């Protein structure tokens, strides 16, 4: 196996992201992990957690080629805007958070990193700093010049991708257009082939309305948009089943014979995914020219600095990034 380099961003400095990176550093890893973070923050949090982790500072021009030993962590030092206190948000560190993401994304684009793994950010405090920010997915799409990306969460035995992401429920029907549905489905299909090595992926597609519209009696989006779009994509060779009622799609009868589910909106598919695999799931951004995975949880400000956290989701994010990069 060829050793590769991956960027690790700790996200919100007042949250559990720095803790996760430090706890992960207790173990040895098959690839080079470089935390793009404030060395000062990591030293302070390690002391707070009672961890003896050696920080090995690196920078462009002297990238390491071998994984760090157990109980050590490579760090590309990125200065904080203000001191970070566990559990206490400050807008003064919004620029710091975005700087870590920018360094990681640009490093993936220039070949320094084979992929990036992200810990959770706090969208609210970044917006309070006067910076319009709706999430990692949208930020990385803009950074990489990608017109359309797809959010997918995965756990063992289930992958769920979304046609729409962070929209109010009242805005979802208007956003389910033929163009959007085609683009999202093609991206999902292509990345299942190219990044997950599935030769002919089978995708189950949810209807938008209860009972997938009940033949038009509970909504006409299935008849007027979803069904014709899926039929056109099938003619191009995509293996698509649906639209199916979401309340029966997520059962073994269907899931045993598919590679991914395409849900129409955030809370249609993700509650099932998180019920099945919370703490052992990964958030994947499809459609980017880079590999990006993330944890499936938030900043957990109340747990920062306590040590009472589980690294399971971050470990799955690492494993998935390795898989997607061909490692």
Q: Please name the residues in contact with 213: beta carbons below 8 A apart, sequence gap of 6 or more.
A: 207, 219, 220, 221, 222, 223, 243
DSSP string of 109-140, one letter each residue? HTTS-SEEEE----HHHHHHTT-----HHHHH
> Binding residue per annotation — 257?
no
> Binding residue per annotation — 211?
yes
> Binding residue per annotation — 283?
yes
> Binding residue per annotation — 156?
no
Among residues 27, 42, 31, 116, the alpha carbon closest in space to that of 75 is found at: 42
> Binding residue per annotation — 306?
no
Rounded Cα–Cα distance for residues 314 and 324 (Å): 15
Among residues 138, 185, 126, the alpha carbon closest in space to that of 292 is found at: 138
Rounded Cα–Cα distance for residues 55 and 22 (Å): 10
> Binding residue per annotation — 217?
no
Neighbours of 74 (CB within 10 A): 20
Rounded Cα–Cα distance for residues 283 and 125 (Å): 21
Q: Which residue has the tokens 């993700």?
A: 270
Residues annotated within the binding site for substrate are 136-137, 274, 283, 292
Residues annotated within the binding site for a divalent metal cation are 166, 211, 266
């Amino acid at each position: 196996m060829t050793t590769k380099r991956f960027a690790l961003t700790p996200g919100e400095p007042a949250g559990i992201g720095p803790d996760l990176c430090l706890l992960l550093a207790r173990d040895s890893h098959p690839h080079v992990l470089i935390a793009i973070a404030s060395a000062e923050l990591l030293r302070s949090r390690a002391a707070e957690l009672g961890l003896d982790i050696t920080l090995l500072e690196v920078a462009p021009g002297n990238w390491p080629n071998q994984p760090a030993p157990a109980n050590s962590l490579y760090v590309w030092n990125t200065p904080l805007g203000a001191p970070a206190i566990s559990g206490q948000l400050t807008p003064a560190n919004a620029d710091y958070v975005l700087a870590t993401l920018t360094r990681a994304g640009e490093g993936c684009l220039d070949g320094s990193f084979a992929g990036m793994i992200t810990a959770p950010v706090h969208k609210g405090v970044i917006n309070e700093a006067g910076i319009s920010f709706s999430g990692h997915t949208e930020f990385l799409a803009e950074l990489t010049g990608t017109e359309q990306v797809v959010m997918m969460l995965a756990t063992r035995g289930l992958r769920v991708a979304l046609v729409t992401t962070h929209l109010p429920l009242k805005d979802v029907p208007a956003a389910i257009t033929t163009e959007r549905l085609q683009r999202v489905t093609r991206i999902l299909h292509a990345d299942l082939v190219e990044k997950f090595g599935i030769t002919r992926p089978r995708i189950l597609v949810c209807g938008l309305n209860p009972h997938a519209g009940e033949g038009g009696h509970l909504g006409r989006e299935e008849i007027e948009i979803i069904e014709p779009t899926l039929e056109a994509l099938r003619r191009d060779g995509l293996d698509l089943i649906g639209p199916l009622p979401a309340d029966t799609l997520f059962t073994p009868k269907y899931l045993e014979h598919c590679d991914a589910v395409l849900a129409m909106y955030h809370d249609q598919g993700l509650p099932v995914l998180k019920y099945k695999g919370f703490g052992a799931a990964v958030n994947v951004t499809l459609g980017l020219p880079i590999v990006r995975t993330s944890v499936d949880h938030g900043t957990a400000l109340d747990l920062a600095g306590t040590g009472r956290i589980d690294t399971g989701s971050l470990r799955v994010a690492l494993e998935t990034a390795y898989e997607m990069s061909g490692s």
